[in-house]
Amino acid sequence: MTEFTGANEVRERLDLIESMVLEGQRGTERWGWMFVLWGVAYYVAIAWTSTAQFGWAWPITVLAAGIISGVIRRAQGSQAQTPTSAGRAVRVVWAAFGISIFLLMCALGISQRLTDPHVAFAIIAGMLGMVNGASAMILRWRPQMACAVAWWVTAVACCYEGPVFFDTPWVFLAAVFLCQIVFGVYCMYLDGRKPGVQAQGMGSHA
């Protein structure tokens, strides 16, 4: 009897962990629009920097994207909340990344040290690989881990010269398209397919 009770407790805990992980994945799917938004922001900052050679391009673009993200999150209200431990952990990881990338790009832009795209893009790609990898490990989500691997490959590729098509800007731009735009749209698609699950999940935590 004791062994049976213990087995049930273990099963219940495993089911709880699994449900928390799944809810965390659904939370990431609800943030798909943010991946797209920041992908567009990267494109704007790169285009602005390359055409105008303006040192404040990255800080201004990152700040604007952050403000827009905050406004949309506030407009979403309770739907944007992730009450599980896995969801909170992912939010903390991304918050730390946001602060780090903002301070880094402000310092590099204002100090005019963004002249070498190899270094700048390698740093950004490495940080994006880290934050996506951490989120994927917490949520045990293979699509996001694939994005992390793509960012890590991009970070390494940005450290080397290559043919025109594989030169640093093109490699980074391709990674932004795949890991931000495409992945964000994929998350939004998954989120749109499960309205009933979301409503049920929000109701259970009300």
pLDDT in tens, 59-117: 888 889 989 988 888 887 645 454 567 778 888 898 899 889 888 877 877 777 666 77
**Is the pTM of the predicted complex or chain greater than 0.85?**
no
Pick from 2-6, 44-48, 181-185, 186-190: least confident: 2-6
SS3 83: coil
User: Percentage of the chain with pLDDT > 90?
Assistant: 25
**How many domains does the chain contain in total?**
1
List, for residues 193-203, the tens digit of each pLDDT value. Answer: 765 444 333 33
Does residue 4 carry a pLDDT above 50? no
* Distance from C-alpha of 161 to C-alpha of 43, rounded to nearest angstrom: 21
* Distance from C-alpha of 73 to C-alpha of 49, rounded to nearest angstrom: 28
Tell me the CA distances in angstroms from 172 to 8, 71, 74, 136, 183, one per residue in order: 49, 28, 31, 21, 15
Domain, as residue range, for 113: 2-204
